[in-house]
Amino acid sequence: MNLTLRIWRQHGPEDKGRMVTYPVQDVSPDMSFLEMLDVLNERLILDGEEPVAFDHDCREGICGMCSLMINGEAHGPQRGTTACQLHMRQFSDGDTIDIEPWRARAFPVVKDLVVNRNAFDQIIAAGGYVTAPTGSAPEAHSVPVPKADADAAFESAACIGCGACVAACPNGSGMLFTAAKITQLSLLPQGQPERYTRVIGMVDAHDEAGFGGCTNIGECAAACPKGIPLNTIGRLNRDYLKATAKRAGS
């Protein structure tokens, strides 16, 4: 099939950037979306132009590196699917496709479609862990974890940190990402001792990094390629409320 791509080109953080149109021919429906961009880039290089910079690595939907806004949707039209797993059979001959980077205050553009998501790491560093220095762990079976809790913790732990939730949110909020980690750890017995310091630390880091506030719009959960549900944020809010009450009381 033949397509028209309109791609965001931006030389660097200081450049204003603009959409540039590229026709592409003979796209196979079995290609992945990124393979289609590979083909375009091969052509641009041979034509003496700069290829389009975009982030990608595992190309199997788990590393969270790919980050494309496709026709205004984070990771494109297919639910529960990262851009790298999106295949061209989802599109039709003659389509025009807009490709843009994640746009959020906390994720500045580095070049073309590449953004800086270091703010997510800062949120984790502010409490998204269980303090368990190597060697200090008790025998694994000393604390049983009910299967339902373990399974629910896993659902939240499946977050790949791609940032689609932020890109989809009109406020540029990173609450779904933050809540996913908080939910995972607060469901497990190992996460209890730091439960309330964690939520304060992570939410503070989230706000400092320039993410917007959550107003329960729900775009984040709709865009999440791993299906992290919106009620995860409710769990964060409950923990946050308890934590601030505890802090006020102490």
Partner 1 sequence: MDLYREGDPIADTRAPDGPIETRWERHRFEMKLVNPANRRKMTVIVVGTGLAGGSAAATLAEQGYQVRSYCYQDSPRRAHSIAAQGGINAAKNYRNDGDSVHRLFYDTVKGGDFRSRESNVHRLAEVSVNIIDQCVAQGVPFAREYGGLLDTRSFGGAQVQRTFYARGQTGQQLLLGAYQALERQIGLGNVEMNARHEMLELVIVDGRARGIVVRDMVTGEISTEMADAVVLATGGYGNVFYLSTNAKGCNVTASWRAHRKGAYFANPCYTQIHPTCIPVSGDHQSKLTLMSESLRNDGRVWVPKAKGDQRSPREIPEDERDYYLERIYPSFGNLVPRDIASRAAKNVCDSGRGVGPTGLGVYLDFADAINRLGRKAIEAKYGNLFEMYERITGEDPYEVPMRIYPAVHYTMGGLWVDYDLQSSIPGLFVIGEANFSDHGANRLGASALMQGLADGYFVLPNTLANYLASSGPLDKVDASHPEAVAARTDVEDRIKRLLAINGDRTVDSFHRELGQIMWEHCGMERSEAGLRKAIDEIRALREQFWQRVRVPGDGEGLNQSLEKAGRVADFFELAELMCIDALHREESCGGHFRAEHQTPDGEAQRDDDRFAYVAAWEYTGTGEPVLHKEDLTFEYVHPTQRSYK
- Which residues from 89-108 bind partner 1, rule CB under 8 A? 89
CB of 210 to partner 1, least distance (A): 17
Nearer to partner 1, 78 or 217 (CB): 78
111 lies in the binding site for partner 1 (CB under 8 A): yes
Nearer to partner 1, 155 or 217 (CB): 155
Six token digits for residue 12: 């660097």
Nearer to partner 1, 48 or 249 (CB): 48
241 lies in the binding site for partner 1 (CB under 8 A): no
Q: Give ∠ CA 55-40-113 in degrees, rounded to 5.
A: 30
CB of 142 to partner 1, least distance (A): 9
Which range, of 93-101, 150-158, 164-172, 236-244, touches partner 1 by CB under 8 A? 150-158
Which range, of 92-100, 141-149, 207-215, 233-241, touches partner 1 by CB under 8 A? 141-149
Nearer to partner 1, 132 or 241 (CB): 132
C-alpha dihedral (37, 39, 41, 42), degrees to nearest 10: 160
77 lies in the binding site for partner 1 (CB under 8 A): no
- From residue 49, alpha-carbon distances to 42, 43, 44, 106 in Å are 10, 9, 5, 30
Give helix then strand counts, H and E, for the chain: 8, 7
Six token digits for residue 159: 């977050």
Q: If DSSP codes are grouped into helix, strand and coil, which group holds residue 108? A: coil
The only residue of 7, 69, 97, 153 in contact with partner 1, by rule CB under 8 A: 153
The answer to whether 115 and 102 have CB atoms below 8 angstroms apart is: yes
- Tallying the residues shown for the chain, one arrives at 250
34 lies in the binding site for partner 1 (CB under 8 A): yes
